[in-house]
Structure 1
Amino acid sequence: MSRAWDTSRAAWFYPFRGVYYFASHRFLWPLFKTRLIPIVLLSAFIYVLLFLFAYLPQVAFLAIFQGASAWINGAFLVLGEGAVVVAALFEAFFVDETLVDIFDAVLVNEGHGELVTTSRVLYPQGDDVVQRLGKPIRSAVYAPFSLRQIVEFIVLLPLNFIPVAGTPMFLVLTGYRAGPFHHWRYFQLLDLPKQQRKERIRRRQLQYTTFGTVALVLQLVPVLSMFFLMSTAVGSALWVVDLENKHDQIGRRPGQVGDFREYHDEDNNLIP
Structure 2
Amino acid sequence: MSSARQAAKVIAIEDFNRANELAKAAAKSGSYLYPIKGIFYLLNHRSLWKPMLSKLAPTTTLSIGVISFMFIFTYLPQLAVLVFLNGPLAALTTILLTLSESSTLINLLSRTFLLQDAQVDTFDGVLLAQNHTAIVSEGRQLKAGNFNDPIGKLGKLLKQPFEKFTPKALVRYVMYLPLNFIPIIGTVTFVLLTGRSRGNSVHSRYFQLKNWSHSQREEWLKENTAAYTAFGTVATLLELIPIVSIFFSFTNTVGAALWAADIEANHTAMTEMHFHKKGSAEGKAE
Correspondent of 1:238 among 226, 243, 258: 258
Q: Which residue number corresponds to residue 129 of structure 1? A: 150
Distance 1:125 1:176, change over 3 A: same
Q: Indicate if the aligned counterparts of 2:26 and 2:226 stay in contact, CA closer than 8 A.
A: no
Provide the residue aligned with 1:187 in structure 2: 207
CA distance in 1, matches of 2:24, 2:182: 32
Structure 1 residue 136: deviation in Å?
A: 1.4
Q: Deviations over 1:9-34 (max 9, x none)?
A: 51112111111111110011121111
1:212 Cα deviation after fit: 1.0
Which of these residues, 109, 112, 120, is aligned with residue 91 of structure 1? Answer: 112
2:102 matched residue in structure 1: 82
* Aligned mate of 1:11, from 31, 41, 47: 31
Question: Are the equivalent residues in 2 in contact too, given 1:159–1:170 (CA < 8 A)?
Answer: yes
Give yes or no for contact 1:179–1:213 (8 Å, CA) kept in 2: yes
Contact 1:41/1:223 (8 A) holds in 2: no
Asked if residue 60 in structure 1 is aligned to residue 63 in structure 2, the reply is no
Matches of 1:18 and 1:129, distance apart in 2:
16
Asked whether the equivalents of residues 25 and 226 of structure 2 are also in contact (C-alpha less than 8 Å), the reply is no
Output the CA distance in 1 between the equivalents of 2:98 and 2:220.
Answer: 34
1:149 paired to 2:152: no
**TM-score, normalised via structure 2 length:** 0.80
State whether residues 12 and 207 of structure 1, in contact with CA within 8 Å, keep that contact through their aligned partners in structure 2. Answer: yes
Q: 2:196–2:233: 8 Å Cα contact kept in structure 1?
A: yes
1:47-78 per-residue CA deviation (whole Å, 9 max, x = no partner) reads 13423553344233212012244345423421
2: CA distance between counterparts of 1:103 and 1:89?
A: 17
Cα deviation for residue 3 of structure 1 reads: 8.8
Is contact 2:26–2:227 with CA below 8 Å preserved after alignment?
Answer: no
**Which has a greater percent of helix?**
2
Q: 1:267 to 1:132 in 2, by over 3 A?
A: closer
**One-letter identity of the residue aligned with 2:56:** L
* TM-score calculated relative to the size of structure 1: 0.84
**Bigger Rg, which one:** 2
The percentage of counterpart residues that share the same residue type is 34
Q: 2:272 aligns to what?
A: 269
Any conservation in 2 of the 1:143–1:182 contact (CA below 8 Å)?
A: no
